[in-house]
Chain A
Amino acid sequence: MSESTGRAGRVRAGFTDLKHIFGGGQSDVRQFGILFSLIAIIALFQWSTNGLTLSSGNLINLVSQYSYILILAIGMVMVIICGHIDLSVGSIAAFVGIVVAISMNSWHFPWPLAILFGVFVGVVIGAWQGFWVAYIGVPAFIVTLAGMLIFRGGNQVIGNANTVPVPPGFTTIGAGYLPEIGPNTGYNNLTLLLGLAIAVTVVLKEWRAIRVQVSMGSAHAPLWVSIVKVVLLDTVVLFATMLFAGGREGTSFPISGIILGVLVLAYSFITRNTIFGRHVYAVGGNRLAAELSGVKSRRVNFMVMLNMSVLSALAGMIFVARSVASGPQDGIGWELDAIAAVFIGGAAVSGGIGTVTGSIIGGLVMAVLNNGLQLEGVGADKVQIIKGMVLLIAVGVDVWNKSQGRPSIIGFLTRNRNAAAPAPAEPTRKVPRNDPPHPSRPLVPAP
């Protein structure tokens, strides 16, 4: 077999390698496709709103308005990888929201304590639901359907169906921005620093990845691919930094965006690189095989449900902080947004497949769509219809592509290159007698 034909081959190779930027796992091809969709949607709205979409004000608004949905998507993807679903996240968010608001209002908890208290309530609720799912074996669909009713009702009982305001300190986590420090540069200095740090990290990470690949002796992309990748990413990062830093006086990168960023990094790492993360995928992929490999599947299910409730609590508090009060209608329909984000991001209903990065991209697609349509003055009714169609089409295209045996358009482009790449030559088997199969095998002396 000849090496792929010259330049064209290498370009295709580059595409394949480029795919690897965007998360690992089985669904990276899908994420690549959805990332392109995201870029296309942004470009479309940027054009149709005459540049309003990528303006400082809108971008800042977008982040603080959707960060809590994205936080839910992080937890939801793990629930879905495990083969479950959680319908109760919106109600739990509302429940925790009211409890926290009342704790500050009536019981005069200082706000940091109130946040801890909210997280604690999330843990308790999560343990409750996890117990039913993991140890009693009631399907998560039922448990969380019950939870959806229980905690929505709970919110209204505790708050008397009233709206309860929260004090100013608390609102930082939902409505706060990186503070102004240092010399007056006309930009928000902390945001600039943050952006710069991210840009440098991108370079360092890529450099490390190349080194690891080289040391493993695995096939690695040519240098130009890495350079293009880094330049592209850093351009985006720096461009966004300038936008976030250059907003209206007193605004900058939202605190809730920072919380989201930290969570995304942490959970990407957990799902990809830790034993617990592996176990989540294993239980979702084949529970019986996982159990026979020593995975305690009940504990995994329990932890995943618990984690979801904690993140719901967090999302609820951020929302309350942003809207400066907790009300009986908070969090209605959030579970659906989070679930949609996860599936647009490439997760499988049958479990075992999905990534945090993918779900975030899926969530961003929904967020940008929502935001763009709002900017255009499209009514909420029509926005719902469009969102529903996008969900259906995104997943439909993916399923259809898979059944056709081609992962995506990009996968199709790169297929030739894959097929042409010489498979590592399997040595034709020699006489086994002279060929101990295991290198470390002590040779057994012949009698």
Chain B
Amino acid sequence: MPANHTILEMRSITKEFPGVKALSDVSMAVQAGHIHAICGENGAGKSTLMNVLSGVHPAGSYTGDIIFQGEHVQFKDIGSSEAAGIVIIHQELALIPELSITENIFLGNEPTKHGAIDWVTAKRRALELLARVGLEDNPDTQIKHIGVGKQQLVEIAKALSKSVKLLILDEPTAALNEADSQHLLDLIRGLKGKGISSIMISHKLNEIEQVADSITILRDGRTIETLNVKADGVNEDRIIRGMVGRSLESRFPDRTPHIGEVFFEVRNWNVQHPQAAERMVVKNSTITVRRGEIVGLAGLMGAGRTELAMSVFGRSYGNFISGQIFKDGEEIHLRNVSEAIEHGLAYVSEDRKALGLNLIDDIKRSIVSAKLSKISNGQVVSAPMEYELSEAYRKSLRIKTPSVDYGVRKLSGGNQQKVVLAKWMFSDPDLLILDEPTRGIDVGAKYEIYGIIQALAAQGKGVVMISSELPELLGLTDRIYTIFEGAITDCIPTDQADPEALMKSMTSAKKKVQST
């Protein structure tokens, strides 16, 4: 195949949902053997465009033409687009946790012999595919026992099993740490060498700058421009300008911290794994937070960051073994989540789909759900107050939706994340624990969320921020704890921290922390 022919062209795609025009007259073209990026703010229509392409939204539910490998195509479902060689890996992973890697790879596509599944062939092919994506795990391992990074690789192996020509990745690195992301990007680049084109959606613009050959920018459901990375000399600022229509002067709002006394402390905290009693997931950890302070918690995926946060938040993870929590100098006991909320704690989960939201609910009910007492008189919830307050949060967080009566399921990923944030801001916490709060959030909205976090701190609240993105922690926090294998390994004031030293404490048990 010649390198510079067009493998895919989408012409004048228009797609409406009740109440929203998600795409209007969008066109784009992908060159064979290219990595083509799609950028745009939350709710710009990126995922919708890819759903149109892959048949999730079937032909007939949108207008416009799709030309794939020179032919007009009309996919009626995912199966027919896969048959043509287009495979989509969705924003939210779609693997079945209870099944093994092999079973997941061949789900719906099982190799058979005499009408029965041929597990021998399946396993052999699974091993080949895993080798191609650089995964060394046993293919019999259940999905729930491997981390998200590896799960993402399994998704790609699954795509490769279907003789894919065009691979669509919707925010593939959103949930990955840097090392895993890098591995994934290398893999995609490797596939390109083997003639597989990719379309990639990401809010991590540095990655896009790194791997993309061309970039289509969407804004409010319209194509703004298509950039050729090499020819146009594209950099992050250039992409941002396209996305939001102007330049961002800095990534973090200015802030002068006003840090007060220590008001919250977790002391010698020990937690056991909920199933495997011999495994300690949090070991003797001590953390302090001062009023007005933004504290970072840096660690690799699986280091125990989430486990620490959730176990403090009303013992919602694992088996509590020992440890104390002090707030305003007094010991408090948080035996369940409602006690934690009453004592002014809030925890924004990293997994919004499973733990953060009730997807069949609407926006206003979701926003008020963690503190119904705030809008109710005794047991009775006040509908006008619910509407008013949720509307205020919709405005201040710029949740893109026709109204707060809209179902959260219908929101774009980033806007769902904003609803989760709104929900916990609504609970008026004294200590806000944020677990990867900017995952899947566009640059502009990130800036706003940073602003909100800083504003909460300026009101004298404490913030604990867990993030896999070191630049984010370095730009936003006042102090950073590093955690490795469940134990706090270091505590560094951010102005003295550098990425390398942090990385080192995140990957090895180091000196004992002197809590300051």
- CB atoms of B372 and A426 under 8 A apart: no
With both chains docked as a complex, state the minimum distance between the C-beta of A301 and any C-beta of chain B, in angstroms.
15
- CB atoms of A444 and B19 under 8 A apart: no
- CB atoms of B255 and A432 under 8 A apart: no
Given A278-B372, A438-B396, CB of A292 within 8 Å of CB of B349 = yes
With both chains docked as a complex, state the minimum distance between the C-beta of B446 and any C-beta of chain A, in angstroms.
10
Confirm or deny: B244 has a beta carbon within 8 angstroms of a beta carbon on chain A: yes
Confirm or deny: B400 has a beta carbon within 8 angstroms of a beta carbon on chain A: yes
Within 8 A of B (CB), among A201-249: 212, 215-216, 218
- CB atoms of A292 and B452 under 8 A apart: no
Interface size on A, residues (CB 8 A): 49
- CB atoms of A273 and B458 under 8 A apart: no
Confirm or deny: A176 has a beta carbon within 8 angstroms of a beta carbon on chain B: no
Residues of A within 8 A of B185 (CB): none
- CB atoms of B316 and A285 under 8 A apart: no
- CB atoms of A296 and B336 under 8 A apart: yes
A285 and B369 alpha carbons, distance in the complex (Å): 12
Q: Which of B244, B362, B372, B455 contacts A442 (CB 8 A)?
A: B455
- CB atoms of B355 and A273 under 8 A apart: no
- CB atoms of B444 and A352 under 8 A apart: no
Given A278-B365, A289-B356, A429-B244, CB of A405 within 8 Å of CB of B61 = yes
Confirm or deny: B187 has a beta carbon within 8 angstroms of a beta carbon on chain A: no
Confirm or deny: A439 has a beta carbon within 8 angstroms of a beta carbon on chain B: yes
A445 and B258 alpha carbons, distance in the complex (Å): 11
- CB atoms of A294 and B337 under 8 A apart: yes
Confirm or deny: B245 has a beta carbon within 8 angstroms of a beta carbon on chain A: yes
Q: Which of the four size classes fits the interface of chain B?
A: 35 or more
Within 8 A of B (CB), among A264-288: 273-278, 281-282, 285-286, 288
- CB atoms of A292 and B459 under 8 A apart: no
Q: Which of B245, B354, B444 contacts A289 (CB 8 A)?
A: B354
- Which of B151-159, B194-202, B204-212, B376-384 makes up part of the contact surface? B376-384
- CB atoms of B21 and A437 under 8 A apart: no
- CB atoms of B370 and A294 under 8 A apart: yes
- CB atoms of A274 and B379 under 8 A apart: yes
In the complex, the chain B residue whose C-beta lies closest to that of A276 is B379
Confirm or deny: A389 has a beta carbon within 8 angstroms of a beta carbon on chain B: no
Confirm or deny: A385 has a beta carbon within 8 angstroms of a beta carbon on chain B: no
With both chains docked as a complex, state the minimum distance between the C-beta of A409 and any C-beta of chain B, in angstroms.
15
A288 and B310 alpha carbons, distance in the complex (Å): 12
Q: Which of B16, B349, B387, B458 contacts A419 (CB 8 A)?
A: B16
Residues of B within 8 A of A289 (CB): 354-358
SS of A interface (majority): loop
- CB atoms of A273 and B336 under 8 A apart: no
Q: Which of A277, A290, A439 contacts B358 (CB 8 A)?
A: A290
Confirm or deny: B398 has a beta carbon within 8 angstroms of a beta carbon on chain A: yes
Confirm or deny: A353 has a beta carbon within 8 angstroms of a beta carbon on chain B: yes
With both chains docked as a complex, state the minimum distance between the C-beta of B455 and any C-beta of chain A, in angstroms.
4
Given A278-B381, A296-B336, CB of A426 within 8 Å of CB of B220 = yes
A26 and B392 alpha carbons, distance in the complex (Å): 23
In the complex, the chain B residue whose C-beta lies closest to that of A411 is B18
Residues of B within 8 A of A415 (CB): 18
Residues of A within 8 A of B359 (CB): 285-286
User: Interface on B for A, CB 8 Å cutoff?
Assistant: 16, 18-21, 41, 61, 220, 244-246, 248-249, 253-256, 313-314, 316, 336-338, 340-341, 347, 349, 354-362, 365, 369-373, 376, 379-381, 383-384, 387-388, 392, 395-398, 400, 402-403, 407, 423, 444, 447-448, 451-452, 454-455, 458-459
Identify 20 residue pairs between A and B in the complex whose beta-carbon atoms are under 8 Å apart, listed by A's number.
A216-B387, A273-B383, A274-B381, A278-B365, A278-B369, A288-B354, A289-B356, A293-B337, A293-B341, A294-B338, A294-B340, A294-B370, A295-B337, A415-B18, A421-B402, A426-B220, A429-B244, A431-B249, A438-B452, A444-B256
Which 5 A-B residue pairings sit nearest by Cβ, starting from the closest?
A: A285-B358, A441-B455, A294-B338, A437-B448, A286-B358
For the A-B complex with A281-B365, A286-B360, A429-B244 known, give 18 more contacts whose Cβ atoms are closer than 8 Å.
A275-B372, A278-B381, A285-B361, A286-B354, A288-B355, A291-B316, A291-B337, A293-B423, A295-B337, A353-B360, A418-B18, A419-B16, A423-B402, A426-B220, A438-B451, A438-B455, A439-B396, A441-B458
